[in-house]
Structure 1
Amino acid sequence: AYVFDASTFEIWVPLLNGGRVVVAPAGLLDARRLKEATARDGVTALFLTTALFNVVAETDPTAFAGLRLVAAGGEAAAPDLMGRTAAAAPGTRVLNVYG
């Protein structure tokens, strides 16, 4: 949501650096749909809630492969899921941006 405090970062950083902002389609966003959307729209960096990150990382950590960066924020992330994702998506920087 654009009223979320991190939205300033999510919106302006890509735009001020020559990128674009892609909003996920309405509806349920599972690992398969996320993987399809990022590939279709040419997404290179992803900022999502830790809760959604956890679901995707548990279901299919390779869903983040091909991204340069995936950042989970809003609460502390489980270190094992962060590590599993980093191992399943080599070349993808995996960050927890909580706090």
Structure 2
Amino acid sequence: MISRVLCSTALVLATGSAFAQAADPGAKLAQQKNCMACHALDTKIVGPAYQDVAKKYAAQKGAAAMLATKIIKGGSGAWGAIPMPPQVVSEAEAGQLAAWILKQKK
């Protein structure tokens, strides 16, 4: 009985977290722009996990602008041999995505 309650509680917490993440405009934009095809919050897929990106850059001055530029222009070498191609986003969208990515620091 206790294990069933604990499992149910864990499911509710995980689901609540997923809903909170999905409600965030940055998360919605990342889904809409297909960013999640190559990136995940906490796991490397093709590109680095967003939590790792945030951990690496969050304390750097100008990090949001630098990431927004990388989103627009693409980049290579910072996370390995696989380059990130330029993304089809506006400057405002790139800024919103960069700000959201930096908030993912755990």
Give the structure with the larger helix fraction: 2
- The structure with higher relative contact order (CA 8 Å, sep 6+) is 2
> What is the TM-score with the length of structure 2 in the denominator?
0.30
> Which structure is larger by alpha-carbon Rg, 1 or 2?
2
Give the structure with the larger strand fraction: 1
